[in-house]
A and B are shown apart, each in its own frame.
Chain A
Amino acid sequence: MALWPRLTTTFKNLFQKTRDQSPPEVDPLEEELHAYVEMITDERIAAGMSASEARRTVLAEFGGIEQVKQAVRDQRAGVALELFWQDVRFALRQLRRNPGFTLSAIAALALGVGANTAIFSVVNTVLLRPLTYPDADRMVNFLRPSSLLADNLHNVTELHFFQRQTGIFKEVVAFDSGGPGFNLTAGRPEQLRGIHVTEGYFRVYGAPILLGRTFTPQEDSPNGGKVVVLSYGLWQRRFGGDSKIVGRTVSLGNESYTIVGVTGRDFIADPQADLWLPFQFDPDSRDMNHFFYVTGLLQPGITVAQANAQLQVASVEYQREYPNAVEANFTIGPLRDSIIGDARNSLMLMLGAVGLVLLIACANAANLQLVRATVRKHEFAVRSALGAGRARIVRQLLTESVMLSLAGGILGTVLGFLGMRALLSVSPAGLPRIGEGGSAITVDWHVLGFTLGISLLTGIVFGLFPAFSASRSDLNSTLKESGNSSSAGLREGNARSLLVIGEVSLALVLLICASLLIRTFIALREVGPGFDARNVVTMEMSLNGPLYQTAAGVSELVKNGRERLSSVAGVEQAAAAYWLPNDVEDATWFQIVNRPIKDHPYRSKWMSISPGYLSLFRIPVLRGRDFTENDIAGAPRVALVNVAFARQFFPNQDPIGKHLKHGMGVDTIIGIVADFHNSGIAKPADPMELVPIAQVSDLYTAAYSNIQPLFWLVRMRSDPHSSIPAITEQLRIASEGFPVAHIRAMDEVMGGSTARQRFNMLLLTIFGAVALLLAAIGIYGLMAYSVARRTQEMGIRMALGAGRSTIRKLVVLQGMRLALVGVVAGIAASFGLTRLLSAFLFGVKPWDPAVFVSAPLFLTAIALLAVWLPAARASKVDPMQALREE
């Protein structure tokens, strides 16, 4: 058909809709059809039929004037659009006329969609959004799957070995993680995050360079000079965005560094950095210390699996070259996975939970829609008598439900997004890639598309079912019923009951999951960490300069600092170490003197501490003695071990007096300390050796000064924050000008270690509460509706002698039967589902009996409340009134 006439008539039809809908005397279509009927009638009368007989037969053959009119309208150009507008306007009118229904449906959907939007916006930011690096899909991290080291740390010989595998990797670079930090000493002292990198780092990460250049290979070799690259942020903050900064010097820890370049503003550095320095590795180095991370760029066309296979083969060569190397088991994984880490599991759990919330919201809205469809049965019957086909009625109802779900979706998007931002600023969750307080979580097309998608889907899912059941109704009987509402159709009644049962069971699943996570969090809180964090303040100091490359320099600083700190008012005790007790990441290989090596040397955690560290944290020395000021370099080398160490390596022996041999020398065990959670609060204590900070070798001291800040620890008599200025001042004097950074109460540090569990718990609790609310509304709505419809029945029952309490019991029992069926189904489903949760649980079993008893009881109590209100109303029915009404 020609396009233009069709378009113009479409236009005409849209704006002249009234043409065929105006009263019959001016409706040309009506007139045309009547003329047709009249003409045949005239002929039949002329042929001898009586007028009434003629008219009756003609009309019967004609097949219904309204139906023919509808058929004509339905094939008009633009009719789809016109009908759509008609549906929308009608739907708006319908929804406005029933504000109670509309608002409750929108509220339920907004909760469902909002929760989904909130979680999806986080999922989108953390999991879906591509990394900002240009070759991100070819970037891989080198891993240590079977390592006792807490992290994927590597050494120089490994790095150089990886760099030689040019068939697999286009480029391999190294970087450390924040390292010890640097003291910007000119002007206001500030500790900076300085990251050591190899020369290729900026190339592999595709870092944009705003000014100057990055390091040359010469600058990244021994004696390459002192050079730095600044980040955009530091350049703006400390140098006012000076465009002539390149070539100038910056003073770090009293040494001058030449600035060679500034990175662009958009570079999202991983790890975060204020400035970068070259590692300057010696190509012939045989340093076996693991202290940095390695990232590679795969050759084009090589997959991670192929690279891993080839690396496995090549590692034989490395083992030949370094026969003493242990753990020459090299693996790579996509950079993306390393960045995302275990956040994926948490987020998948949340997506599952919000999916359930959305299902409940759908069930709720569907129930409301079903109720309304029943009320509107008469309307639908009239409409189909007037020529509306079944598809037309279904479409009308779907338009209404989709409009509801879109309204709910818009409201939900706003709510969900604001809610998630608020939540993340309160509980940061330790999620990667989300920025400060979740600032990187923004609404983009993915989120909007997702929300629009689930809103439409929701509208269709909860609308379709009621729409079909409403349009199925038998026209004749409905019309005859003429608004009498004594009995709801059995089928629809069942459908509504099923929806309520479903809601209750889903809500119970969420409630049980939330309870398990709450118990997990409480259990984590109740774990004695093995040390006393109260009133302890921690702060970090970067030990820059040649003095701190020696054990003597560091131990002198520690001694001096401790003396100065103990003179500050309010300070009870002071100590220093390279690790906090809840997170010791270093480990060492060792042998026990006079015991043969079986397969390979033993391995345990290892840390050096100043005197006073153990007593400051109230970690008891169970046997033997603590370190003293006399355990210095030159004195006999001593060590303490924890109970886990003693149990594992000296099962039937007394460890005290035994000798441990490792790279630094031979230590004599002088005591056993109680276990404390040195690998995070959720894990048991690992075996660990402790040594005095003054007896560590210079090599190790230098390595530590280059990769880790020193922690200063102060136990206050009362409020930890009161004496901070005096403390930092004393430390500045002791170190001759170094600032301290990251001043935190130890309690705060401990809270941070359970941030993820807290986040999981908070979210699931919120979702559980929403689900409970929706389910309660669902039961309440169904019972209230059923009571309203059965007013007459109640009246008759009362007239026949039923007491008010009998009536109340009747309603309560009916409602509670549904709730209890839902509870049973929910318990059954939870038994299956909570197993998936076990990875998130701590100190509580997935089928914890307390949870499986209390959560259903709680839900039942809420259901009882929701049923009680309509039951009370039913019992107040006035029988005379009720019987007279119909």
Chain B
Amino acid sequence: MDSKQANLLQGTLDLLILRALGLGELHGLGISRRIEQITKGTFLVKPGSLFPALHRMEEAGWLSSFWGESENNRRAKFYRLTKAGKRQLEVETEQWTTVALAISNALKAT
């Protein structure tokens, strides 16, 4: 396994999933690939963390799901953001930006 890949920070996974789905509906493998792509390969989400997170977020009402056809004609479960999910994405983005800014300021400070 690639040692460069960072461990997922606690709470980061939710934001990444929301962000990935913000660009359109996807199935589980699609989400995992999309995250890999948008983080330029820094994060590789394994099914053991992905699926529990998806089901938890669906229960929280951020995601909805439906069964559809994958690109290679397999029956797959697709997820999309709900209204609450979109709001959550905004909230978490804002929080993350604040935290990231604060941390990088802290690291730059001498």
Contacts and interface: CB of A to CB of B under 8 A. Distances in A.
Nearest to B27: A35
B60 A5 contact: yes
Contact of B29 (A36, A71, A72, A75): A36
Nearest to A71: B52
A62 interface: yes
A32 B60 contact: no
Nearest to B71: A39
A122 B61 CA distance: 56
Interface in B62-85: 70, 72, 74-77, 84
A585 interface: no
Contact of A33 (B51, B56, B59, B61): B51
B55 A42 contact: no
Contacts of B29: 35-36, 39-40
A9 B59 contact: yes
Given A38-B74, A39-B70, A40-B29, A63 B47 contact: yes
A807 B61 CA distance: 69
B55 A75 contact: yes
A337 interface: no
Given A36-B28, A77-B59, A68 B74 contact: no
B52 A75 contact: yes
A63 to B, nearest CB: 5
B11 interface: no
Interface in A26-64: 28-29, 31-33, 35-36, 38-40, 42, 62-63
Contacts of B51: 29, 32-33, 68, 71-72
B46 interface: yes
A40 B77 CA distance: 15
A36 B61 contact: no
B60 A42 contact: no
A35 B74 contact: yes
Given A2-B60, A2-B61, A35 B55 contact: no
Nearest to B53: A75
B76 A68 contact: no
A77 B46 CA distance: 22
Nearest to A39: B29
B55 A72 contact: yes
A31 B78 CA distance: 12
Interface string B21-44: 000000111000000000000000
Given A5-B60, A32-B28, A32-B77, A42 B52 contact: no
Interface in A59-116: 62-63, 67-68, 71-72, 74-77
A67 to B, nearest CB: 7
Contacts, number: 67
Given A1-B60, A5-B61, A63-B46, A76 B55 contact: yes
Contact of A28 (B48, B61, B74, B77): B77
A6 interface: yes
Contacts of A75: 52, 55-56
Interface residues of B, number: 20
Contact of A39 (B46, B55, B59, B74): B74
A63 B48 contact: yes
A35 B74 CA distance: 7
A38 B52 CA distance: 19
A27 to B, nearest CB: 12
A68 B59 contact: no
A68 B59 CA distance: 17
B77 A6 contact: no
Contacts of A36: 27-29, 47, 76
A62 B50 CA distance: 11
Nearest to A42: B72
A381 B69 CA distance: 39
A830 B43 CA distance: 67
A75 B49 CA distance: 11
A42 B56 contact: no
Contacts of B74: 35, 38-39, 42
Nearest to B57: A1
Contacts of B72: 39, 42
A234 to B, nearest CB: 71
B107 to A, nearest CB: 31
Nearest to A65: B47
A68 B56 contact: no
Interface string A315-357: 0000000000000000000000000000000000000000000
A33 B61 CA distance: 21
A617 to B, nearest CB: 88
Contacts of B59: 5-6, 9, 76-77
A678 to B, nearest CB: 82
B75 A35 contact: yes
Interface string A743-772: 000000000000000000000000000000
A6 B60 contact: yes
A28 B48 CA distance: 17
Contacts of B28: 32, 35-36
Contacts of B48: 63, 67-68, 71
Given A42-B72, A63-B47, A72-B51, 10 more contacts: A1-B60, A29-B55, A32-B77, A35-B76, A38-B74, A62-B47, A68-B52, A71-B51, A72-B55, A76-B56
Interface of B: 27-29, 46-48, 51-52, 55-56, 59-61, 70, 72, 74-77, 84
Top 8 closest pairs, chain A to chain B, by CB:
A5-B61, A35-B76, A32-B77, A9-B59, A1-B60, A71-B52, A75-B52, A72-B52
26 contacts: A1-B60, A2-B61, A2-B84, A5-B59, A5-B60, A9-B59, A31-B77, A32-B51, A32-B77, A35-B28, A35-B70, A35-B74, A36-B28, A36-B47, A36-B76, A39-B70, A40-B29, A68-B51, A68-B52, A71-B48, A72-B52, A72-B55, A75-B55, A75-B56, A76-B56, A77-B59
